[in-house]
Structure 1
Amino acid sequence: MKLFAVLLPLRDKELSQTYRPDHLAFLEKQREEGNVAANGKFVDGSGGLVIYRASNQEEVEALVKQDPFVIQGARDYDIHEWEMVSKEWE
């Protein structure tokens, strides 16, 4: 499995607030299924970051396109394969 950092920059603040509960429920389901390693919001309010586990970028993009934030136009997304170097997480 590879890791992918998905940046979710804010696109629409009102839509983001409206769909936040749905987004968090989606991420919890993905975490339970082993697809999400970590997630969190940026403290400056500009968006958030999700670390996905997947075989390839296409799998991650398919998951990201199911996120209510993306579906509803609250957030954009940018996917980057990520190589973690911290020994704490291994």
Structure 2
Amino acid sequence: MLAMDAADQVIAVQCKHTTRGRKVGSGVLYQINGTAAPVYEAGAAIIVTNGSFTRDAVTWGALHGIRLIDREALARWSAEADHLYQVVELRPPL
């Protein structure tokens, strides 16, 4: 899915539903990293899951600037009604 922020920056978002106990691995991050900027000219890439991420996925995502939203971050976002920029620590558009 593609989104636009207030400054018309493209944000690539991929959502992954997992079954209980399953984790999203690095392969998903490779996919979004290979398409977000080169294909869609996105300034940011975010992966959202109702589960969690493998340790390798978290490490690889941090190295390549891919923001990850796991079950805990979704719960905080819902409870605190934070803006997406706060949840994934992106700079809001000026």
Q: TM-score, normalised by structure 2?
A: 0.31
By relative contact order (CA 8 Å, sep 6+), the higher-ranking structure is 1
